[in-house]
Amino acid sequence: MAACGFVAGCSPVSCFAESEYWHQRTSLFDLLPVGEDDIVFLGNSITDGGEFAELFGMPDIKNRGISSDVVGGVAKRLGQVLSGRPCKIFLLIGINDVSHGLSADEIASEYESLVERIRMESPTTRLYVQSVMPVNNDFRRYKNLVGREGVIPHLNRRLEDIATRHGAVYVDLWPALADAGTGKLRREFTNDGLHLTGKGYAAWVRLLKAYVEE
């Protein structure tokens, strides 16, 4: 999760600095249209790193993750996904916003706007709101997340409420990824405290399999 600053003079809730990588990925997505039979995984680096079509054995899964992306970044490129009215969207976004010091309420407000837009522009799409994953700051890798662990459960409660009110499916990823005793991302699933190793992706896929195939 590379540092991603916000635009000067603009509220960090809705404005962000578009990195070279962000532009590289979005320009590629412009050439790869989404169709009505597709399942789209949409999010940040955790999504970006997943080979979901292979993990699920389903070629109609499209990865639309961008490393370091935030809620505002997803909002800016959401049209690339919604124009094709995909069958399903699995949305996972928010941890980078947490690292930028935003409150759960600030993030949830922007997140709800995303959900409302998906519902309005692609009403036939089945939307899956995934909880923000646990982190493990024992690795001391991402200093902006140290001391921010408590924001994540509060944000997830807000996301569950948003999903319920807008007819989306809320998917709690914590049972599959968090240590039951500490609530931290399990050490065998990460090597930096935030991103997933192969075992972590396998655990995520096992949890999502029923939702993807239903």
Q: What is the CATH number of the domain that holds 155?
A: 3.40.50.1110
State the total domains in the chain.
Answer: 1
Q: Is residue 13 part of a domain?
A: no
Q: Is residue 104 part of a domain?
A: yes
Whether 4 maps to a domain, the answer reads no
Spatial neighbors of 31 by CB under 8 A, at least 6 apart, are none
Residue 178 lies in a domain: yes
Residue with tokens 């935003």: 102
In the prediction, which pLDDT does 83 show? Answer: 96
The whole domain housing 34 covers 20-213
Look at residue 8 and tell me if it is in a domain. no
User: pLDDT tens, 134-171?
Assistant: 999 999 999 999 999 999 999 999 999 999 999 999 99
Token pair belonging to 194: 């935030």
Show the low-confidence residues of the chain (pLDDT under 70).
Answer: 1-17
Three-state secondary structure call for residue 22: helix
Return the pLDDT at 16: 58
31 assigned to some structural domain: yes
The one-letter amino acid code at 3 reads: A
Q: What is the pLDDT of residue 167?
A: 97
Residue 208 belongs to a domain: yes
Q: What's the 3-state SS for 136-205?
A: CHHHCCCHHHCCCCCHHHHHHHHHHHHHHHCCCEEECCHHHHECCCCCCECHHHECCCCCECHHHHHHHH
In-domain check, residue 180: yes
User: Tell me, what DSSP letter sits at residue 19?
Assistant: -
The helix/strand/coil state of 4 is coil
